[in-house]
Amino acid sequence: MDFELNEEQRMYQRVVRDFCEAELKPYAAEVDEVGDLRWDAIRKMPALGLTGLQVPEEYGGAGLDTISAAIAIEEVGRACGSTGLSLAAHNGLGCGPLVYWGTAEQKAAYLPALVNAEALGSLALTEPQAGSDLAGGVQTSARRDGDSWIISGSKAWITNVKYAATITVLVRTDSDKGTSGFSMIIVPTNAEGLTVQSPEKKMGLRASPTHMLSFDQVRVPLENLLGEEGKGFYQTMETLDNGRISIGALSIGLAQAALDESLRYARQREAFGKPIAQHQAIQWMIANAAMEIEAARLMVYKAAWLKDQGKNFTKIAAMAKLLASEVAEKAAHSAIQIHGSYGYSSEYPVERIYRDQRLMTIGEGTSEILRLVIARNVLKEIEHLTPA
């Protein structure tokens, strides 16, 4: 086993970290307050491949391996959680389905603009009554009408819509076929009948706006179908598997940021005649955070490696995202404790980090759903190994 990053990965990590330290971290509190991404930074991202991490080079993307993509998202999240979320959604949910299932014409039409940061990618899955239960809860439908699809329904908690030119939407195209009755359709954000509601007022990640969408007889061409009709649910599950690696990496970035701030403060703050970093109670919190972050990072890397090797990574991706998101929560909690009353103040980054990480155990599969995914996969493995 080789646990070392290769030279290219180390170099890329250094370049991305330097960019984030200069272009994102100094503005993280400001964008959180304003509620908008820093587009001066976003427009510089294509030069580093950040807006096309795993898009093939023929469409202008970086064509990176999954470990390198995870490294990039971790570094962005370490500097600014909001930017990390929007970038993770752009790459995994926006570009990803187009790369995997788009026709040559669709890829040529949509990917270059996404890679060049002319717009950010967006995927609409969740609905007001359908979060974890997509199969049973999604009601947004699309019916054929001549050479068009007519889409009706609503979506909730959709990331990047404000910055998107198109949205890939999960819809029911046949209500009688269960999970085989779903499809994905590409919808322009300027389509007649599509209404983007006001941004949600969120606890954290405020610079990454989230919106509800309403579809009132929205008409799009039949060729906007992404992949095969009836395969939408399976496309969604594969997209979420991929996304869990990315959200795991983002969680690690937030956890690492919390630890970084804890270390900085603990070495400066004095109590009882010495820096609090020399007190055992503080050292225990630092040790636990460092240990758990390292373990979560290795699990995310393993999931990324399995994906790149073409192996089944559903179980490990679920484990990685679950572990990393819960580690982020503990690291952020400890950071507040280490800072004491100052940790409760917005003058210190840990207050924002604590708010930002809270979504990590909810989005891309709640911790409860991920435990079900993991358990079901473990049980399947046991059944496969047990003699009849």
Active site residues: 364
Q: Indicate if 41 and 137 belong to the same structural domain.
A: no
Which contiguous run of DSSP H or E holds residue 264?
helix 232-268
Chosen domain end from 229, 244, 278: 229
Comparing 388 with 105, the larger pLDDT belongs to 105
Average pLDDT over residues 220-245: 97
Question: According to the model, what pLDDT value does residue 101 have?
Answer: 98
CA dihedral 152, 232, 179, 242 (to 10 degrees): -130
Average pLDDT over residues 119-133: 93
| CA distance linking residue 246 with residue 89, whole number of Å | 9
Domain of 197, in residue numbers: 123-229
Question: Model confidence at 388, in pLDDT bands (50, 70, 90)?
Answer: low
| CA distance linking residue 300 with residue 314, whole number of Å | 12
Residues 6+ apart with CB under 8 A from 375: none
The 10s digit of each residue's pLDDT in 345-366 is 999 999 999 999 999 999 999 9
Token readout for 125 is: 């899955």
pTM of the entire structure? Answer: 0.96
Question: According to the model, what pLDDT value does residue 6 have?
Answer: 96
The 10s digit of each residue's pLDDT in 50-68 is 999 999 999 999 999 999 9
Chosen domain end from 196, 229, 262: 229
Residue 367 falls inside a structural domain: yes
pLDDT higher than 70, residue 168: yes
Question: Model confidence at 40, in pLDDT bands (50, 70, 90)?
Answer: very high
- What separation, in Å, do the N-terminal and C-terminal C-alpha atoms of the chain show? 34
Is 229 in contact with 180 (CB distance < 8 Å)?
no
Is 300 in contact with 252 (CB distance < 8 Å)?
yes
Chosen domain end from 89, 115, 141: 115
Q: Indicate if 195 and 241 belong to the same structural domain.
A: no
Eight-class DSSP state of 341? G
The 10s digit of each residue's pLDDT in 319-348 is 999 999 999 999 999 999 999 999 999 999
Q: Indicate if 239 and 381 belong to the same structural domain.
A: yes
Q: Indicate if 208 and 352 belong to the same structural domain.
A: no
Q: Indicate if 34 and 164 belong to the same structural domain.
A: no
Phi first, then psi: give them for residue 284, nearest 5 degrees: -65, -45
Q: Indicate if 291 and 247 belong to the same structural domain.
A: yes
Q: Indicate if 193 and 337 belong to the same structural domain.
A: no
Which contiguous run of DSSP H or E holds residue 282?
helix 280-308
What is the domain count for the chain?
A: 3
Q: Indicate if 44 and 184 belong to the same structural domain.
A: no
